[in-house]
Amino acid sequence: IQVPGADPVALVTGLSDVATKIGWSNKTVTSLFKTPVLEITDPAVDATKGPNTAFVYAKGDIVYFVIGNPALDLVGIVQALAALP
């Protein structure tokens, strides 16, 4: 999602703030290809049945989301993040 003129840190911080306000766990991950990446987990989604986690990365004024379930497809998530600009 492109937000013309937005600061990448402000974009990710804003998403983190919203996730916290609605009770979703979130944390900054620095061990992946693109860092930092914000990891947001939706507690309402059954992790055994579907994607429950968003990995959020911003570069410039563009925010990228990789949605998945790290317990079921960590390799796919890492590959998707690595392919981002």
Check residue 32 and give its pLDDT.
79
pTM: 0.89
At 14-40, the pLDDT tens digits run 999 999 999 999 999 988 777 789 999
Q: Which residue has the tokens 């919203």?
A: 18
Residue 7 falls in which region: left (phi positive, over 0), alpha (psi -120 to 50) or beta: beta
Grouping H, G, I as helix, E, B as strand and the rest as coil, residue 79 is helix
Q: Which residues of 18-46 are buried (b: 16+ CB within 10 A; e: fewer)?
A: ebeeeebebeebeebebebbbbbbbeeee
At 38-84, the pLDDT tens digits run 999 999 999 888 899 999 999 999 999 999 998 888 899 999 999 99
Residue count of the chain, please give it.
85
